[in-house]
Amino acid sequence: MSEPEVATPLRERTGHALRDPFLQQALTIATTRFIDLRREAFGDFPDGESLRDRARAIKEATLQRLDHHVERLVASVESRGGHVHYAVTAEEARAIVLDIARRSGARLAVKSKSMATEEIHLNEALATAGVTPVETDLGEYIIQLAHERPSHIIAPAIHKTRGQVAELFERELKRPAAPDPEALTAIAREELRRRFLDADLGITGANFAVAETGTVVLVTNEGNGRMVTSLPRVHVALMGVEKVIPSMSDLMVFLAVLARSATGQKLSVYTSLVSGPRRGGELEGPEEFHLVLLDNGRIAQIAGSLREALACLRCGACLNVCPVYRQIGGHAYGYTYPGPIGILLTAMLNGPRSVKDLAHASSLCGACADACPVRIDIPRMLIELRREVDERRIAPRGERAAFRALARLLVRPAWYRLTARVARVLQAPFVRGRTIRRVPFDLGEWTRTRDLPAVAPRTFQERWAALEREGR
């Protein structure tokens, strides 16, 4: 288990989010914008659909021979003078990075946005070991200053207003800051520029790693990925082992769908391809390059029920279209990865017990699967997770008993008809016209905000005999 269990119940977390008017507004604006941008981007891209199929096919083909591609990647990285490390757990991954930091005498680490380092909670570990980690993606920088966690995979600080950011900068950076995105960005540029030049250690994730060439690929819009991989003495890239792809041609297929899905751009501003440490004749570039391959529950899914989720590109498209995410935002999910794909990744990392409630935080509307650039069937896997939660007896005993009783009822039509009649009697005190405005027990959850239809005075089955005669 790599992440601590969340103490507050899900219902409370979602309630909190729903009652935050600013968060509600920010979520609506951000997700709507991302949805529109994505739609436009694929709208005038006739190859889009076939490239999505190809991207998925490459992922599946690669996973089928993952050992081969990982070996190839390792050989290529090592032939370029890089070092490869292997971490089965989050704890091992942290230990590896800390060891590299210690041996290189690093005091200051600059980081380019990486969900993998969030996943292993690296920053806390670095700080404890005396290395100051500085997030350099503007959104990540803001939430690091605020001591928060990202709320969206690609827009980590969408829950903050310009005013809040200005106040934060004034408080934490001790300098005047006007509540204007342009001015705030300029402040961040200045503050972080010095950090880039002073840092000993650069830490990144990887969007992809090309096995053939030993290349780690980083996609950013700001250019911080380039800084982090070019200026410090040591570069450590931490990546989930499923990020390996075979060739540069494969990479182009992914690049063509990634930014369009994430931000509606044809390409993000910077795609950096890094192959090992600084070469002879180069002025910049790290003296040491380390690649940390992370398992943390991924390998067990190669043949597991969540294997499709290994194709995820972390683009965030499924978050933006998810009606649940759009209401509750990222924090309410409680773990590193939010949104519908996040539920699957949380289960992958922390086991099905961690998502016993989250697995139900979806109306199964399927918008996520539609938006996913690699067509991951998220709803199907959520259902699968619910099944596991039942099978492993993680679901509450009462719930399991209720569903089993329902199943018995549904294969006994006489009982079913009897239940309808009994319900009609029981509902009588609550019915007004044909609806019920308030009922006790569990169904009260429905009627707090919605009317409930009453069981009809005569069901269709009870009307059928007459209807049949009418047809003769």
Partner 1 sequence: MVTCLGDLFYPEVGERIVRLLRRLGVAVEFPAGQTCCGLPLFNSGYHEEAATVARRTVRLFDGDTPVVVPSGSCAWMVKHEYPGLMKDAADRAAATRLAARTWELSQFLVRGLGRSRFVAAVRGRLTYHDSCHLLRGLHEAESPRVLLRALAGAELVELPNADECCGFGGSFAVRLPDVSSAILDRKLAAVEASGADCVVACDAGCLMQMRGGLGRRGSRVRALHLAEVLDVEGEPS
Partner 2 sequence: MATKAEFLGRIRAEMARTPGLFTVAAAPWPARPGERLALLRRELAERWPATLERFARELERVGGVFHRVASPGEVAGLVADLARAGAMERVVAWAPGALGLDLAGPLAARGLSAVAMPEGDVAASERTRLREVAAVADLGVTGVDLAIAETGTLVVVSGAGRPRSTSLLPPCHVAVLDREALVESLEQAGLVLEAWHDGEAGPAGGASINFITGPSRTADIELTLTRGVHGPKELHAVFVEQGLARPRHG
* Sites for partner 1 among residues 373-432 (CB under 8 A): 383-391, 395, 403-404, 406-407, 409-411, 413, 416, 420, 423
Amino acid identity, position 441? F
Minimum CB separation of residue 39 from partner 1 in Å reads 11
Query: Which of 91, 327, 430, 439 contacts partner 1 by CB under 8 A?
Result: 327
CB 438 within 8 A of CB 447: yes
Minimum CB separation of residue 378 from partner 1 in Å reads 12
Query: Which of 362, 372, 374, 381 contacts partner 1 by CB under 8 A?
Result: 362
Write the binding mask 13 to 42 for partner 1: x where contact by CB under 8 A, - elsewhere: -xx--x------------------------
Check binding of 423 to partner 2 (CB under 8 A): no
Nearer to partner 2, 264 or 436 (CB): 264
Q: What is the DSSP string of 171-211?
A: HHH-S---S-HHHHHHHHHHHHHHHHHH-SEEEE--SEEET
Q: Which stretch binds partner 2 (CB under 8 A): 278-286, 365-373, 395-403, 411-419?
A: 278-286
Minimum CB separation of residue 64 from partner 2 in Å reads 5
* C-alpha–C-alpha distance, residues 217 and 195, integer Å: 23
Check binding of 460 to partner 1 (CB under 8 A): yes
Check binding of 449 to partner 1 (CB under 8 A): yes
CB proximity list for 26: less than 8 A, separation 6 or greater: 158, 159, 160, 161
Selection from 64, 63, 73, 120 nearest residue 97 by Cα? 120
What stretch of H or E contains 165?
A: helix 162-173
Query: Which of 271, 320, 346, 354 contacts partner 2 by CB under 8 A?
Result: 271
Sign of CA dihedral 295, 372, 225, 170: negative
Check binding of 356 to partner 2 (CB under 8 A): no
Check binding of 60 to partner 2 (CB under 8 A): yes
* C-alpha–C-alpha distance, residues 121 and 444, integer Å: 40
Residue 461 binds which of partner 1, partner 2, none (CB < 5-8 A, kind-dependent): partner 1
Query: Which of 42, 196, 208, 333 contacts partner 2 by CB under 8 A?
Result: 196
174: left (phi over 0), alpha (psi -120 to 50) or beta: left
Amino acid identity, position 128? T
CB proximity list for 399: less than 8 A, separation 6 or greater: none
CB 368 within 8 A of CB 338: no
Minimum CB separation of residue 13 from partner 1 in Å reads 10
Binding site for partner 1 (CB under 8 A): 10-11, 14-15, 18, 323-324, 326-328, 359-367, 369-370, 383-391, 395, 403-404, 406-407, 409-411, 413, 416, 420, 423, 435, 437, 442-443, 445-446, 448-456, 458-464, 467-468, 470-471
